[in-house]
């Protein structure tokens, strides 16, 4: 299950916030911070080059994109394609993405996916797991959260 990490985002000016400098990058290397890639809640909204120094300075990143069909393919090496159906997952796999899929329930896990680590053990968080970095394994989790959101998701599945 996704959780909050320290935020580095991109302002309308196109600058990373907080602005990246050598000190921030040195701190990121020293503390081995976990980085969640996001920009306007969608990392690919920013050019990859903006995030690249931070990505290179950190040892653990997680990130997700709904724009996996249209974004710069370089993001495949860092982000998970967010998908809501097996059809979308298979399409994303065909394009070389690892996926993060919401399942109607746990029985829908496919052999090509594993459950989110936090779903298996709530003591495991994204900051320590880091599985969702685009490189490892496709991940899935049964729909969760507010009842109205679960209901709306299930309606998309029928
Ligand atoms: S698999 Fe790991 S990184 Fe991915 S959402 Fe679950 S806890 Fe976070």
Looking from the CA of residue 62, the nearest atom of ligand 1 is: 3
Q: What is the pLDDT of residues 21-65, one digit of tens each?
A: 777 777 777 777 777 776 667 888 888 888 888 888 887 889 999
Number of alpha helices (DSSP H) and beta strands (DSSP E) in the chain: 6, 8
127: CA distance to ligand 1 center in Å?
A: 8
Given pLDDT bands bounded at 50, 70 and 90, which one contains residue 132? very high
Terminal-residue alpha carbon distance, the chain: 24
Closest CA to 7 of 46, 40, 49, 38: 38
Confidence (pTM): 0.83
Of all protein residues, the one whose alpha carbon is nearest to atom 8 of ligand 1 is 126
Which H or E run contains 142?
strand 138-142
Lookup: tokens for 150: 């679960």
Report whether residue 130 contacts ligand 1, using a CB cutoff of 6 Å: yes
| Span from the CA of 117 to the centroid of ligand 1 (angstroms) | 6
Averaged confidence pLDDT in the chain: 85
**Residues 98 and 134: beta-carbon distance below 8 Å:** yes
């Amino acid at each position: 299950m996704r959780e909050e990490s320290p935020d580095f985002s991109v302002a309308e000016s196109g600058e990373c916030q907080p602005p990246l400098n050598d000190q921030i990058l040195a701190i990121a290397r020293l503390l081995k911070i976990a980085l969640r890639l996001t920009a306007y809640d969608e990392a690919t909204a920013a050019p990859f080059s903006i995030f690249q120094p931070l990505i290179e300075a950190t040892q653990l990143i997680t990130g997700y994109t709904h724009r996996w069909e249209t974004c710069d393919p370089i993001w495949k090496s860092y982000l998970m394609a967010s998908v809501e159906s097996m059809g979308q997952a298979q399409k994303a796999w065909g394009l070389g993405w690892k996926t993060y899929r919401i399942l109607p329930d746990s029985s829908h896990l496919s052999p090509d996916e594993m459950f989110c680590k936090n779903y298996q053990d709530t003591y495991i968080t994204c900051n320590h797991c880091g599985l969702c970095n685009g490189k490892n394994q496709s991940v899935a989790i049964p729909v969760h959260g507010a009842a109205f959101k679960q209901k709306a998701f299930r309606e998309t599945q029928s």
